Amino acid sequence: MALPSAVGEAERGNVRFEDSVQGCSSWPTMTWSMAESKMNLQVRSSTANSINLSWNSFLPIDGTSTQGHYVVYYTTTFSNHIQSWLGQIEAGNETHTSIRNLKDGTDYYFRVSYRIPGRGVHLEGHLSEVALHRTGTPAPLGGCEHDSRHYDEGMTIHQSCDSVCDCLLGSWICRPRGCPPKPDVRINPVNCREEPHPDDPECCTMIKCEEGSNDSIQPADCNDGGVLRVHGETYYHECDEVCFCDNGVSDCTRRCPDAGQMIPDLQTCPHPTLLEPPEGECCPHWSCPPPPNSCELNGNTYEDGEYFDVDCSMRCQCLGGSVRCVPRCPVSFAVSTVNCPNPTRVQLPGECCLQWECEQPAEQVCIHNGEFPRH
């Protein structure tokens, strides 16, 4: 079967898988580099509830011995993100394994990687090609065709560093070309370096640190013109910049924002004034001077001619920059009369000034021969 022009497809029965790859429409005219698959993941045999897999040995070699162990991922729903493949089996250093307790008549996707435990960090190896098989059916036979060349089942071809296509069940399945994950930290230049990954040296890199160091991937400090700044430190270049040390990289910005970006609203502050920073500070700031001939009292600003009250004691007016006040309540006296023999000043609710009131005289009652008179 020829390589598809836009979509990699694998069909068996009524099951169809598609994996779009950006730029695949121009494959027939592209120059492809073919790398012999070092992993060659294949389905060797299958029953209704199990599938046997095999692959080439690709564990890293340190001297004369291999490092790490193989991990087989499997799923019934294909995704480019291996984290979503819930099935996972550790196969040790063997190049074959059997996946059991599977559902009959179900399509399963398989990929193999390796894992090397470390101090707090597990090095995850490169992922193999994808093997696809349905339980209860014979092991796949055949292969794929591309540019008048035959490729065996399970072989992989690469398009520069962008995409990878696997020959599965006689069809090409394509996916973006990815690299093994690296620790999410910057490299400490003292004892760590970045170098090509042994599984894909053309497109992928890995972090390699000197042996015997327990601080191989600790955040790095910064060199600020010969001054050591520790990771996470905030420091200043006088009044020019404020800087932050982040894993060996100094991130600096202007210490003071542009004055034009801080100008007040001209509707509430029609005549803003830019003031120089006080002693010990770096940044100037805007001030809103009061309007001409205005008055300030108790922290409040009043315009020329404006009346205002100071509590219940004074009624004031701003005139030409000066405040003139008079008592808010007039001075008054009340004279005793027959009808109001004892006038009294009282505070009425909601009123500032005291009001005069007259005490009501007690009602006089007459008694005649020991009885109340009838009206």
**Using one digit for the tens of pLDDT, what is the confidence trace for 241-275?**
889 898 888 889 888 877 766 777 777 777 788 88
Report pLDDT for 23.
Answer: 33
Question: b or e along 166-175 (b: 16 or more beta carbons within 10 Å of the residue's beta carbon)?
Answer: bbbbbbbbbb
- How far the first Cα of the chain sits from its last, in Å, is 127
Please give the Cα distance from 240 to 123 (Å, whole number).
Answer: 43
Task: Assess if residue 43 is contained within a domain.
Answer: yes
Cα–Cα distance for residue pair 322/328, rounded to 1 Å: 18
| C-alpha neighbours within 13 Å on the C-beta side of residue 25 | 1
Domain that holds residue 144: 7-176
| pLDDT for the residue numbered 211 | 59
Instruction: Check whether residue 142 and residue 233 sit in a common domain.
Output: no
Per-position DSSP letters for 151-214, written without gaps between them? EETT-EEEETTTEEEEEETTEEEEEE-------SS---TTTEEEEE-TT-TTT-EEEEE-TT-T
**223 and 138 in one domain?**
no
Do 78 and 223 sit in the same domain of this protein?
Answer: no
Nearest in space to 336 (alpha carbons), one of 361, 353, 365, 354? 361
CATH number of residue 91's parent domain:
2.60.40.10
- Rounded to the nearest 5 degrees, what angle is found at the Cα of 74, between the Cα atoms of 73 and 76? 155
* pTM to 2 decimal places: 0.33
Residues 150 and 91 reside in one and the same domain: yes
Do 19 and 137 belong to one domain? Answer: yes
**Separation of alpha carbons 22 and 360, rounded Å:** 100
Are both 101 and 228 inside the same structural domain? no
Residue 369, both tokens? 């021969």
> Would 269 be classed as within a structural domain?
no
In a domain, 157, yes or no: yes
354 domain residue, yes or no = no
* pLDDT surpasses 50 at 305: yes
- Mean pLDDT confidence for 125-146: 78
Judge whether 252 and 233 are in contact, CB under 8 Å. Answer: no
* In-domain check, residue 77: yes
Q: Is residue 90 very low, low, confident or very high in pLDDT (cuts 50, 70, 90)?
A: very high
Q: In this structure, are 39 and 141 located in the same domain?
A: yes
Which of 255, 279, 304 marks a domain boundary? 255
Q: What is the C-alpha to C-alpha distance for residues 7 and 351, in angstroms, rounded to an integer?
A: 86
